[in-house]
Copies of this chain bind each other. A is one copy, B any other.
Amino acid sequence: MNVRTLCLGILSTGEASGYEIKKDIEEGLFSHFIDASFGSIYPALTQLAGEGLVTVRAEEQSGRPDKKVYAITPKGHDALARVISVVPGRDKFKSEFLFQMLLQQYITPELMRAAIDKQIADLEGDLARIDECRRAEQPLAGARFVADYGEAVLSAGLRVLKEKKAELLLALPQQAAE
């Protein structure tokens, strides 16, 4: 699933500018299972507009570039329905953290601790974000399910991490645990 489809999906919930789409991806319900940068979002929107799948409207602003507000068209809805109508591919999960834990013999106890603490902070941050999304009323049908799924997965990881942290640090050469 590419940025093109992602933009179409977000626009299906209401009009938005490229900048706002980026924020949705970073802070919204999409945030914990999708990524995209401006460098891919802006070209995707231009392309989508060129194909008539979205419309553009320039909103004038003082002291800033015009805000380009995109809205999905019926043709865009059709295209979205089409690309989304295939059995989805496998989830992809990449974790430098787990790679590091596997190869812990090569790192210092300090780095080990820093890595674990960062991971805990990341997970807690993600959970907080999901919580916020829950508060805000979501226009999407599956919002609650996605929030529940994300919360379950993230808090399961967090739980294991907190349980095993002391053990992981104790197993290291010298140096006491926290």
Q: A83 vs B6: C-alpha distance in the bound complex, in angstroms?
A: 33
Interface size class, chain A: 35 or more
In the complex, A23 has a CB within 8 A of chain B:
no
- Chain B: CB-nearest residue to A78: B106
| Interface SS of A by simple majority | helix
Q: Is the CB of B98 within 8 A of A84?
A: no
Q: A150 vs B153: C-alpha distance in the bound complex, in angstroms?
A: 10
Q: Which residues of A contact B (CB under 8 A)?
A: 1, 6, 9, 12, 29-30, 32-35, 77, 80-81, 84-108, 111, 114-115, 118-119, 122, 140-143, 145-146, 148-150, 152-153, 155-157, 159-161, 164, 168, 171
**Sampled A-B contacts (21; CB under 8 Å):** A6-B99, A12-B103, A33-B94, A33-B95, A34-B94, A34-B95, A34-B99, A77-B106, A81-B107, A85-B107, A88-B96, A90-B122, A91-B122, A92-B94, A98-B149, A101-B142, A101-B145, A103-B140, A149-B157, A149-B161, A156-B156
